[in-house]
Structure 1
Amino acid sequence: MDGIPWEIIFAVLGVVVPIIAALYEFVFIGRKRLGYRVQMDTTATDVDSSQYAGALQQFPLSENERLIAPSFVLLRIENIGASPIDADDYAAPENVDAGIAVEFPGRRVVGMMVTELSDEFLRDSFRENSGLRVKDNVIELPKVSLNRKQHYKVLAALDRVPDKTGAVRKAQPPKVVGGIKGGVGRGRIRETKNQIGTPRNAVALIGFLVAVILAQVSVSVATQDTPLDCAQGKLTVVGSTAFRPVLDEAAASYVRTCPGAQIEVQATGSTEGLDRLDAAGKQGENPEVVAFSDGMKTDRYPRLLPRPIAFSLFTMVSNKESGVQDLSADRIRQLYAGQITNWNQLNGNDVPVRLVSRYANSGTRRTFEQHLLLGAREPVNTSDDCRDRAPGAAPGAVRCERGSTEDVLNTVATTPGAFGYVEAGAAEQRADVFPVRIDGQPATLEGADQGSYPFWETEYAYTYGEPKAHSLTAGFLRYLVNEVGRDIVRSHRHKPCAELANPMLCRPA
């Protein structure tokens, strides 16, 4: 029993049974079907209680013949299938013009009329010599062509027939005889009922589907203590501060899903994260440590294995007092070369340029130097507070360094004329800084993917060697690239590598 895939069985039942029900309803039952409904069968025997009783007793006979026990029957004839019924479909010989016979046992027909046609063109089916006639206690109805859901009604006035002793016979329900060729079952005309409320077939199907869902839930609870791909233990995530918002949310989501797991995020910079992972690996095989880096590692880490996770965007940001929101890549290089020291040199405000950079171990800084400075290094640090030049510092624009994305954003927001670079998603959350376009292009995934926006990088996850398949390290990395992880990555304005044209390289085509 343990090897039976009950979840799959219940899922298949939940799909197959409604399909069978639909086929039964629309293919089998939906063939040609003729139905009738007795909508009224009432007597008028208590006539002595009314001063107008004579009218009922005399209708519709002559003055010399009175009704003994009058009654009235309203009969509805209808097409209850999904296919039209033609005159040739009636199960009656071709030389017989009547298709349906209505018999009233114990009564005789004293008058009748066809009423309430669903469509006016049905009237031609009841003209003279159409087959509509009365024979004592029988009404014969013609072979009426009926499209889907069409109907007509017959109103009959009847009187009870006394037996040989003169006693009035007990009236019996009408008997409707007729049928169609090629119909459901034997093709006989079928009595229908007024439908009030939800059909029993629909209630039964809904009940079945509810039972299948409850069974699936019960099986899942009984056979699986923890969600699929959950691992237990403790994992340390180190590295990129630019990617930290993604890592914080993904770690919290994984722990909620897998209560036996503990994940601690310690983002202090890409290079420092790689150093910590390398040191942990040298102390013992397969450490439960994952390092994230903005861009590819250098050759100094031969045992660290990369996995591309996301395509990340970065942006330049400026303090609002600079008056600058769009710069060419050449102008940015001139700023970091010390050739521009005041924003008025770029038609901005008369405010000194103050460059806010990252520490040398930052993957974001390495990305900036590679993509915008074209491999050149940033100038030396000239300030600690990002406002005033340190004594003996080299001439040029004031330049300081900060240790995280958040520190750069806070410094740029509060320092007049400040200018720096950060992860684009983090900058988008701040209203106190200006995102700066590069050559007129905003920081968009589409622009980077098409080659028009230059400031991007691939975010890599590194492990020391290949992690064990059922380790927390492997489980968390799989979680990042599945549907939930992709949603988290995408929500922070990164693009999952799996959604690029070349997911293995995870870079613009």
Structure 2
Amino acid sequence: MKQINKGVELLNTSMVTKVISVIFLTGLFGFFGFIGVVFSALMGGVKFYTPLIAIVTVGIILYSIVRIFNILQGKKLKIAVISFVGLCVLAIGGYEITNAYHNSFGIVNAEVNLYQYHPFYENSKVVTLSEPASLKLEKELPILDGATALYPLYSAFVRATYPNKEYEIYQSEVMSSKTGEAYTKLINGHVDIIFAAGPSDRQLRAAEQKVVELKLTPIGREAFVFFVSSKNTVESLTIDQIQSIYTGEITNWNQLGGKIDSIRAFQRPADSGSQTALENLMGEKPLMKPPTEDIVSGMGGIISETSSYRNYKNAIGYSFRFFSTEMVQNGEIRHLKINGVFPDKETIRSGEYPISSEFYAITAGSDNPHIDAFIEWILSEQGQYLVEATGYIPVGD
């Protein structure tokens, strides 16, 4: 009887030891798993690596329980472990291959190195006058900002009329904050002139709320263009067809004379110049929701943003002609004819290309004493020469 009681005590002691071991290991692996999940989430792995780490952590805990309590042994345990590890490796491989394939397609709306268009850098691509400008500014320089695609142009204006010095592209008298941010700075009185396409409805409402009147002075013309992969067989669309694509009524390229393939219709962020141009083109027709992707934001947060255009063979995107031809120079895309007309300088000049519009020097009541003279010079023969030489169409044409 004593031996039986002793055996029961040993068994109970062994069970308690096992339970304590399981609790300890669960806490230990759970802690490290939690750290891994948090780190993965901060690095933007919410959709794949964060849940994978959680699954692996649970797998390790279950393995510990199985080993401690001898639930599986020998060959069965080995098969289970190999199967689990193999599935994890296959999942990681599949995810990384998919990502590599996705990232292999060019981003047309990528960041452009604007320093190559700096007004006074050596070997700058900015165009110059062959004679001294009739206007020279030395003090109280108007603070300029604007669209990425127009920076090469107003950089040329600056080279002709401003003092030769360093102008930091993202914080100086001559900046490029992109259209949306440039409008915000103008409306809030942080800049004197911006160079951009016309404002969106939201930007107009923001100006009204600040009791600010936007004055738009046309200084040139440009084409709003649509492009596809060079592998796409479709070469021309009508405006009605474009509108039907972006309302979601037309969903496959075979409806447009192309191959059987669903259409990936990319859009641009709200309040960008090209997105406002698309909204104007759509008129009263409802614009479908754009494709989005998760982006890592400040402090590791994840936000959903409009996807950048990737040059899939079934994709369609849009921009302004100068940006997509001169600044990006992506040979993998092809501009579409619109209503049978190809977008180039001559069809813009003649008005034959149907989606061309003016771009502006925009002010909002600044008291800088040189604004009027500067805009008057931009509209002069010298200023309009720079518009033409940069690659745009002067307003007088």
Q: Under a length normalisation based on structure 2, what TM-score does the superposition of the two structures give?
A: 0.53
When Rg is computed on C-alpha atoms for both structures, the one with the higher figure is: 1
Match status 1:453 vs 2:356:
no
How far is the alpha carbon of 1:300 from its aligned partner?
Answer: 4.5
Aligned AA (2:318): Y
More helix by share: 2
Question: Separation in 2 of the partners of 1:444 and 1:263?
Answer: 32
Distance 1:451 1:385 in 2: 40
Which residue, 145, 157, 164 being the options, matches 1:250? 157
**1:432 maps to what in 2?**
332
Query: In the alignment, what sits opposite 1:362?
Result: 272
Task: Identify which of 327, 340, 343 aligns with 2:250.
Answer: 340
Post-superposition Cα deviations, 1:458-488, rounded to whole Å, max 9, x if no partner, equal 212122215444x3x4554344333343222
- The aligned runs of 1:16-31 (5 Å cut-off) are none
CA drift at 1:423? 0.8
2:394 is aligned with what amino acid?
Answer: P
1:303 positional shift: 2.7
Structure with greater contact order relative to length (CA < 8 Å, sep ≥ 6): 2
The CA deviation at 1:381 is 2.3
Query: 1:264 and 1:274 mapped to 2: Cα distance?
Result: 15
Q: Structure 2: how far apart are the matches of 1:251 and 1:356?
A: 34
Shift of 1:441: 0.7
Separation in 1 of the partners of 2:166 and 2:251? 55
Query: By how many angstroms is 1:422 displaced?
Result: 0.8
Distance 1:455 1:482 in 2: 26
Structure 2 counterparts to residues 191-340 of structure 1, below 5 A: 228-233=135-140, 235-255=142-162, 263-269=173-179, 271-280=180-189, 288-295=191-198, 298=204, 300-301=206-207, 302-340=212-250
Secondary structure of 2:336's partner?
strand
Structure 1 runs of 4+ with >4 Å offset: 257-262, 448-451, 473-476
Cα displacement (A) at 1:323: 1.9
One of 495, 503, 506 as aligned partner of 2:393: 495
Gaps of at least 5 residues in structure 2 are 1-132, 296-304
Q: Which amino acid aligns with 1:342?
A: N
Residue pair 1:251, 1:263 contacting (<8 A) in 2 also: no
Q: Alpha carbons of 1:322 and 1:478: their partners in 2 closer, same or farther (altered >3 Å)?
A: same
In structure 2, distance between residues paired with 1:468 and 1:264: 15
Q: In 2 relative to 1, CA 319–260 (structure 1 residues): closer, same or farther, beyond 3 Å?
A: closer
Shift in Å, 1:279: 0.9
Deviations 1:204-246 (A, max 9, x none): xxxxxxxxxxxxxxxxxxxxxx974323245432232332332
Which amino acid letter does the alignment assign opposite residue 345 of structure 1? Q
Quote the sequence identity (%).
Answer: 21
Give 1:363's aligned amino acid: G
Q: Deviations over 1:274-297 (max 9, x none)?
A: 2211112xxxxxx65312231256
> Which consecutive residues of structure 1, in runs of 5 or more, have no partner in the other structure?
1-225, 281-286, 387-399, 403-407, 501-509
For 2:272 and 2:255, locate their aligned partners in 1 and report how far apart those are by CA, in whole Å.
30
In the aligned structure 2, how far is the partner of 1:252 from the partner of 1:488? 11
**CA deviation vs aligned residue, 1:415-443 (integer Å, no higher than 9, x gap):** 33221111112223332210101011112
Residue 262 of structure 2: SS of its match in structure 1? coil
Q: Secondary structure at 2:383's aligned position in 1?
A: helix
Residue identity matched to 1:453: Y
CA distance in 2, matches of 1:253, 1:356: 38
Residue 384 (structure 1) shift? 1.7
Contact kept, 8 Å, 1:231 with 1:475, in 2: the verdict is no
Equivalent residue number for residue 416 of structure 1: 313
Deviation at 1:310, TM superposition (A): 1.3
How does the TM-score come out when normalised to structure 1? Answer: 0.42
* Cα distance change, pair 492–319 in 1 and its aligned pair in 2 (3 A): farther
Q: How many residues align?
A: 244
CA distance in 2, matches of 1:355, 1:361: 18
Deviations along 1:155-174, one digit per CA (max 9) or x if unpaired, are: xxxxxxxxxxxxxxxxxxxx
* Bigger strand share: 1
* Distance 1:448-1:483 versus aligned 2 partners, 3 A rule: closer
Name the SS of the counterpart of 2:175 in structure 1.
strand
Tell me if structure 1 keeps the 8 A contact 2:227–2:316. yes
Q: 1:365 to 1:292 in 2, by over 3 A?
A: same
After the TM superposition, which residues 141-180 of structure 1 pair with which residues of structure 2 at under 5 Å, given as runs?
A: none
Letter of the structure 1 residue corresponding to residue 352 of structure 2: S
Going from structure 1 to structure 2, the CA distance change for 1:266 and 1:312 (only over 3 Å counts) comes to: same
Cα distance in 2 for partners of 1:444, 1:331 equals: 21
